[in-house]
Amino acid sequence: MSIIDFPEFKKAINTYCLETVGERLSIIKKNLDSLMDAKRNETKSSAGDKYETGRAMIQNEEELYKRQRAETSIILDQLLRIDPDKECSFIEPGALVVLPSGYFYIGAGMGKLVVNHIDCFAISLSSPIGQALKSKKKGDTILFQNREVMILNVY
C-alpha cells in the first residue's frame, strides 16, 4: 500500500469533482440545444395529434434537462465555495475525512469516485453520513447505521 499525500489527494478530488460537474453541464447544454432545434423544426402535419404528442414529449425532456441543469449548477456552486488548499481541523465543506471504511470528501453529493486509483466518496453535509460527521474532529466517534465509527483523521 502506498503512502498518500492527503493535501494533494484532497486537491485532486476537488479538481476531479469540478471537471465532472463541468462535463455534466456541457452535456446538458448540448442536449437542451438539440431539443431547441427539434422544437423549431417540428412542423405541423395533417396528423395534428402526432404533432401535439411530439411537442409534449420535447417539452417534457426540456423540463427534465432544465431541472438537471439547475441541480448540477447547485453542485458546482457548492464546489466553487471550497478552498481545496485549506487544512481542516474539523469536518466542514472541503474536508477530507478518513474513516475505517474509506475516504470521504465533504463537498457535494457525487457518490463513489476513483481519483489517482484510490476509491473515495464525495458527499454533502446534508447526506445522512454527512449529518453524523458534521463539525466532528479526528478521534471523535459517531453513530452511523447503528455502528460506532471512529474518525481516524481530517485533512
pLDDT at 51: 56
**What integer pLDDT is reported at residue 140 of this predicted model?**
98
pLDDT of residue 2: 67
d(CA 42, CA 80): 39
**Model confidence band, residue 146 (pLDDT cutoffs 50, 70, 90):** very high
39-95 pLDDT, tens digit each? 777 655 545 565 567 778 888 999 999 999 999 999 999 999 999 999 999 999 999
Long-range contacts of 9-12 (CB under 8 A, 24+ apart): 9/96, 9/103, 9/115, 9/116, 9/118, 10/84, 10/94, 10/96, 10/105, 10/155, 11/84, 11/85, 12/115, 12/116
pTM: 0.85
3-state secondary structure the chain: CCCCCHHHHHHHHHHHHHHHHHHHHHHHHHHHHHHHHHHHHCCCCCCHHHHHHHHHHHHHHHHHHHHHHHHHHHHHHHHHCCCCCCCCCCCCCCCEEEECCEEEEECCCCEEEEECCEEEEEECCCCHHHHHHCCCCCCCEEEECCEEEECCEEC
The whole-number pLDDT of residue 43 equals 58
**Ramachandran category for residue 146: left, alpha or beta (phi over 0 → left; psi -120 to 50 → alpha):** left
Q: Check residue 113 and give its pLDDT.
A: 97
Each residue of 106-138: pLDDT tens digit?
A: 999 999 999 999 999 999 999 999 999 999 999
